[in-house]
């Protein structure tokens, strides 16, 4: 039975990834802060699933779990995942998103050296490493020049994956563009929108406050992006892969699709722009070219933008109706 270790198993991606691995007969170990984290309930109880409560920043704690589990595959997903939050605590963001990943790579490399069996590592990198991108769409060789503490922390981890790849570790970066699902927390603008639209439709809320409505993002379906991570782990050679749909939309487009799902065509009186929600530096557009992933991994997105938004709104309508 192959063994996988997932940091950040309770997050959106981690929970979908765990489900996928368990369905394929893996023994799955997940690192959590506590047993009540969001999305853990989606995994239920499974004989092949073991959770480890670990403070990722505690000395040797992460390394001990890697040594104990001796995994065949390691998925590095744990992160402070909010760009806005990274501006409020850039030091903590750098520690969790950067240094923890370096320690994970070193621990995986150590297991490989001691055991003699290969360990494959996939790190969830981010489109934020490109910042105010030099080109659109972005490709794997686009210049890395982050414009936020979050992007800088992800860039550090991303580049260190390449360092360990050079040392003989099968270490890959999946450069993930925005990807959503009903498992996103409301701290993300997409889920904030769909949950608010559902509440407005149910008469439980009167409006939404958002930031820049003109920012353009490349949005995909989270389970599709998890599938790309698994394909990267299984690839004959490690590499970096952009995972994106190649189509961008504005926040206003997302609002159009969400409100249309509940039969509201004109949302102008329901949405207000709050300057407090506008980031200090925000890339105008993030758009990825996933040709390499299509060509080398056989990956392609399966859910389009309108379907993604509809699924999220429908989920929230059902939730608030209940």
Span 51-83, pLDDT tens digits? 999 999 999 999 999 999 999 999 999 999 888
As given in the structure block, the two tokens for residue 55 are 């403070």
Lowest mean per-residue pLDDT among 31-45, 181-195, 197-211, 238-252: 31-45
Supply the pLDDT for residue 79. Answer: 95
What is the distance between the alpha carbons of residues 273 and 268, in angstroms, rounded to a whole number?
11
Q: What pLDDT is attached to residue 39? A: 64
Res 47: pLDDT: 85
Catalogue the long-range contacts made by 274-279 (C-beta closer than 8 Å, 24 or more residues apart): 274/209, 274/210, 274/211, 275/211, 276/211, 277/84, 277/209, 277/210, 277/211, 278/211, 278/212, 279/83, 279/84, 279/87, 279/148, 279/211, 279/212
Q: Which residues make Cβ contacts (< 8 Å) with residue 312, sequence separation at least 6?
A: 180, 181, 182, 184, 190, 191, 194, 258
Average pLDDT over residues 139-159: 97
Please determine, for residue 36, whether its predicted confidence score (pLDDT) is greater than 60.
Answer: no
3-state secondary structure of 161: helix
Q: What is the average per-residue pLDDT within 99-108?
A: 98
3-state secondary structure of 74: strand
Least confident stretch, 7-16, 169-178, 189-198, 283-292:
283-292
What residues does each domain of the chain span? 3-179+221-243, 184-217+247-285+303-321
Alpha helix segments (H runs only) across the chain:
12-23, 40-43, 61-69, 83-88, 90-94, 100-115, 149-166, 189-201, 222-234, 251-261, 291-292, 305-321
Max Cα distance, the chain (Å): 63
pLDDT of 9 over the 80 cut:
yes
- Which CATH entry fits the domain spanning 3-179+221-243: 3.90.870.10, 3.40.50.800, 3.40.50.720, 3.30.450.20? 3.40.50.720
Mean pLDDT, rounded, for 135-159: 97
Query: Which residues on neighbouring strands pair with residue 75, listed in sequence order?
Result: 6, 122
Q: Looking at residue 316, what is its pLDDT? A: 97
Classify 291 as helix, strand or coil.
helix
Query: Is 128 tagged catalytic?
Result: yes
277 pLDDT band, cuts 50/70/90, is confident
Give the mean pLDDT of 91-97: 96
Q: Is the pLDDT of residue 40 over 80?
A: no
Annotation marks residue 164 as catalytic: no
Q: In the prediction, which pLDDT does 304 show? A: 97
pLDDT at 38: 63
pLDDT of residue 94: 96
How sure is the predictor about 244, in pLDDT bands with cuts at 50, 70 and 90?
Answer: very high
Contact 48, 27 (CB under 8 A): yes
Q: Which of 86, 126, 172, 248 is catalytic?
A: 126
Q: Give me the chain's average pLDDT, please.
A: 94
Residue 53 is a catalytic residue: no
Averaged pLDDT, 143-153: 96
Tokens encoding 289:
């070219």
The catalytic position among 150, 177, 225, 241 is 150
Q: What's the CATH superfamily of 184-217+247-285+303-321?
A: UDP-galactose 4-epimerase, domain 1 (3.90.25.10)
Please report which confidence band the pLDDT of residue 275 belongs to, taking 50, 70 and 90 as the band edges: confident
| Angle at alpha carbon of residue 133, lines to 164 and 172, rounded to 5° | 20
Task: Say if residue 295's pLDDT is above 80.
Answer: yes
pLDDT value for 228: 98
Contact 218, 177 (CB under 8 A): yes
Choose the catalytic residue: 19, 37, 73, 128. 128
- Note the pLDDT of residue 318: 94
């Amino acid at each position: 039975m192959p063994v996988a270790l997932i940091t950040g198993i309770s997050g959106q991606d981690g929970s979908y990834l765990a489900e996928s691995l368990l369905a394929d007969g893996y023994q799955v170990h997940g690192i959590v802060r506590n047993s009540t984290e969001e999305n853990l309930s989606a995994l239920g109880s499974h004989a092949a699933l073991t959770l480890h409560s670990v403070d990722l920043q505690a000395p040797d704690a992460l390394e001990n779990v890697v040594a104990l589990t001796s995994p065949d595959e390691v998925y590095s997903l744990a992160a402070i995942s909010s760009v806005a939050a990274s501006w409020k605590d850039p030091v903590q963001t750098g520690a969790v998103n950067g240094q923890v990943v370096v320690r994970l790579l070193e621990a995986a490399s150590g297991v490989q050296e001691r055991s003699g069996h290969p360990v494959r590592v996939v790190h969830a990198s981010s489109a934020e490493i490109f910042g105010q991108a030099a080109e659109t769409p972005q490709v794997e060789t686009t210049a890395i020049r982050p414009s936020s503490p979050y992007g800088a922390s992800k860039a550090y981890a991303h580049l260190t994956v390449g360092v360990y790849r050079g040392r003989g570790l099968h270490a890959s970066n999946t450069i993930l563009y925005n990807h959503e699902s009903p498992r996103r927390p409301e701290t993300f603008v997409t889920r904030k929108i769909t949950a608010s639209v559902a509440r407005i439709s149910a008469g439980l809320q009167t409006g939404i406050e958002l930031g820049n409505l003109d920012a353009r993002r490349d949005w995909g379906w989270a389970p599709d992006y998890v599938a790309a991570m698994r394909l990267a782990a299984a690839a004959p050679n490690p590499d970096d892969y952009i995972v994106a749909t190649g189509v961008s939309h504005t926040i206003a487009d997302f609002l159009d699709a969400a409100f249309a799902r509940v039969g509201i065509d004109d949302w102008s009186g329901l949405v207000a722009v709050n300057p407090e929600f506008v980031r200090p530096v925000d890339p105008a557009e993030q758009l990825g070219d996933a040709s390499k992933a299509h060509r080398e991994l056989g990956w392609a997105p399966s859910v389009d933008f309108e379907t993604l938004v509809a699924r999220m709104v429908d989920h929230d309508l059902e939730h608030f109706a209940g």
